[in-house]
Amino acid sequence: MPLAKALELAQEYDLDLVEVAANARPPVCKLMDYGKFKYESAMKAREARKNQAHTVIKEMKLRPKIDPHDYDTKKGHVVRFLKQGDKVKITIMFRGREQSRPELGYRLLQRLAEDVQDLGFVESNPKQDGRNMIMVLGPHKKKTEAMAEARQAQEARKADAKANPGRSQNTADAEAPAEEPAEA
C-alpha cells in the first residue's frame, strides 16, 4: 500500500502508523494506538522486574570461642536468610593465639552446616583466608520461590484478618483474661 494511502487510513481510524520492520522490502507498518502500546509494554517490563530476583549474599561473622546462646542467635539469623532464599557467607574471625587452632573454626562451621542442612547446602567448603575462615551456604529453594511463598503467606494473613476482623494479631494477648484491679 502506498505511504499516502496508509497515512490517510491511520488518520481515518484515529490511529498511528508505526513501522514494525524497517529492513523488510517493502517496509512493514502497522496501524495502532502508539501511546497505549508504549504503556502496555512498560507495564509488562515492570511486572517482569517485580518477579525478577537478584542474588544477595548475606554475611554472618563468628568467633571460634562463641557462647552457646550467641551461636543459637547467629544460627537463627542464618536460618532466616536461607528461608528468604539468600546465600549466606559465614566468616570465622581468628585473633591472636586463636590463629594457631584453625580446627576450632572448621568444627564450628561444620556444626553450623549440619544444623541448617534442611534449608541450605555448603556451596563453598571452609577455607582459611588470612585471619579469617570462610564458608558459603546456598539455599535449597530459589529466591523467586521464597518470594512467592512469602507473598502467599501474606495474602493468607490478609484473608484471615478480613474473615476475623475482631481478632488481634497476637491471639494469646486477646484471649487472656483481664486482671481484676487490686483493692486498696
Q: What is the CATH number of the domain that holds 34?
A: 3.10.20.80
pLDDT, tens only, 115-172: 999 988 999 999 998 899 999 999 987 777 777 788 888 888 888 888 887 765 555 4
As a dihedral over the C-alpha atoms of residue 62, residue 123, residue 125, residue 83, rounded to 10 degrees, the angle is 30
93 and 133 share one domain: yes
Cα 43 to Cα 4: distance, rounded to the nearest angstrom: 33
99 and 126 share one domain: yes
The domain containing residue 97 runs over which residues? 57-139
Cα 77 to Cα 73: distance, rounded to the nearest angstrom: 7
41 and 82 share one domain: no
64 and 125 share one domain: yes
User: What confidence score (pLDDT) does residue 181 get?
Assistant: 53
User: What confidence score (pLDDT) does residue 49 get?
Assistant: 82
Residue that the C-alpha cell 541450605 belongs to: 120
Averaged pLDDT, 92-105: 91
Whether 174 has a pLDDT exceeding 70, the answer reads no
Whether residue 180 lies inside any domain: the answer is no
40 and 65 share one domain: no
83 and 32 share one domain: no
What's the domain count of the chain? 2
Q: Compare 52 and 177 and report the one with higher pLDDT.
A: 52
pLDDT, tens only, 21-69: 888 888 888 898 989 989 999 999 988 887 776 778 999 999 999 999 9
Whether residue 12 lies inside any domain: the answer is yes
Whether 184 has a pLDDT exceeding 50, the answer reads no
67 and 38 share one domain: no
9 and 34 share one domain: yes
How much is the pTM?
Answer: 0.57
73 and 130 share one domain: yes
Residue 130: give its domain's CATH number.
Answer: 3.30.110.10
pLDDT, tens only, 76-95: 999 999 988 889 999 999 99
User: What confidence score (pLDDT) does residue 77 get?
Assistant: 95
Whether 107 has a pLDDT exceeding 90, the answer reads yes
